[in-house]
Amino acid sequence: MKKLLFLFGCLLCLVITGCSNQSDGKQNDGKEEASNETVTYESETGPVEIPAEPQRIVALSNGPNIFALDGNLVGVDEWTKASPLFEEEMANIEIVSENDPEGILALEPDLIIAGSHMENLDELEKIAPTVIYTWGKLDYLEQQIEIGKLLNKEEEAQEWVDDFTKRAKAVGDKIKEKHGEDVSVSVFETDSKNFAVFGDNWARGTEILYQTMELEMPEKVQEDALADGYYNLSQETLPEYAGDFIVLSSMGGENEFTKSETWQSIPAVENNQVIEIDTQEASYSDPATLEYLLDIFEEGFLQ
């Protein structure tokens, strides 16, 4: 009799344990529970202990880079959210700001990405492991590989970098074959009242044009925009900075200056060698934006 009671007790324990395990294995409406495993990421500010598989990422910077590698984003900055290139895919992702730590806390992130220029970095680090990047410290392709390291997807990031570089260089070679080895290009941006010209690492496709395609930069642009990344211009001096081609970044709408005699007299304008891009679609240097701009440049230079 005692033996039967003992066996019955063991069986009951097994049933209870099984039910308990089934219950513990469920989280977030039946989704598999995220791993608690962590890894040490060597960031530019020192080692940071981060989740091996982050499930709730808040990206105050580099959101598009993370998006390109299928990172689990729950919050992004307003510029990323505003890009038409990500409008549909990021419809349910919240807009966040470093000036609203409480809003970030409410999203329960397990990883935060921020820029070194941002405020409240100490507050962010109290919320979740925070990785900080400095704009321009890495070139635009190295930055994508670094995001790959962060998300444990370095191989995937490297494969894209190698493939994109090969294709962009090929387009650059075709451009120089058609227009000459010393063909030059300027990248201007206007909001209808103000103008700026960009160096070789300020998005708007500058990295592709100057770093990868190795197209020439006008001398005045080198003198005034290369060091700081951009240079504000008066409308009257625009012709001095114009290359054989112009890439014009704008927010759309009417721009009276482009109808002016000063603008119309620029050789690139006279020769119909102006390539227009949307500022909101070109303000990053992530894979989606770069692929989009490469198609535009290929058509604009080689049509």
Task: Supply the CATH number for residue 106's domain.
Answer: 3.40.50.1980
Same domain as 179, residue 131:
no
pLDDT tens figures, 110-142: 999 999 999 999 999 999 999 999 988 999 999
pLDDT tens-digit series, residues 189-216: 998 778 999 999 999 999 999 999 999 9
Three-state SS letters, the chain:
CHHHHHHHHHHHHHHHHHHHHHHHCEECCCEECCCCCEEEEEECCEEEEEECCCCCEEECCCHHHHHHCCCCEEEECHHHHHCHHHCCCCCCCEECCCCCHHHHHHCCCCEEEEECCCCCHHHHHHHCCEEEECCCCCCHHHHHHHHHHHCCCHHHHHHHHHHHHHHHHHHHHHHHHHHCCCCEEEEEEECCCCEEEECCCCCCCHHHHHHHCCCECCHHHHHHHCCCCEEEECHHHHHHHCCCEEEEEECCCCCHHHHCHHHHCCHHHHCCCEEEEEHHHCCCCCHHHHHHHHHHHHHHHHC
Does residue 249 lie within any of the structural domains? yes
Whether residue 238 sits in one domain with residue 200: yes
Mean pLDDT of the chain, nearest integer: 89
Instruction: Verify that 139 and 95 share a domain, yes or no.
Output: yes
- Domain boundary residue, one of 152, 187, 207: 152
In a domain, 280, yes or no: yes
Residue 28: pLDDT band (50, 70, 90) is very low
Please report whether residue 21 resides in a domain. no
Cβ pair 213, 175 in contact under 8 A: yes
Q: Is residue 9 part of a domain?
A: no
Question: What pTM, to 2 d.p., does this model score?
Answer: 0.85
Number of domains in the chain: 2
Residues 77 and 180 in one domain: no
Residues 131 and 200 occupy one common structural domain: no
Question: Please, are residues 198 and 187 in contact by the beta-carbon 8 Å criterion?
Answer: yes
Report if residue 256 sits inside a domain.
yes
pLDDT score of 27 more than 50: no
193 plus 282 within the same structural domain: yes
168 domain residue, yes or no: no
The domain boundary residue, chosen from 104, 120, 152: 152
* Residue 76 resides in a domain: yes
Specify whether 106 is located in the same domain as 216. no
In this structure, the answer to whether residues 294 and 201 fall within a common structural domain is: yes
Indicate whether 122 and 185 sit together in one domain. Answer: no
Domain that holds residue 273: 175-302
Q: Are residues 180 and 65 in the same domain?
A: no
> Does the residue 141 lie in any domain?
yes
Q: Which of residues 118, 152, 186 is at a domain's end?
A: 152
> Does one domain contain both 90 and 205?
no
pLDDT band at 278 (very low <50, low <70, confident <90, very high): very high
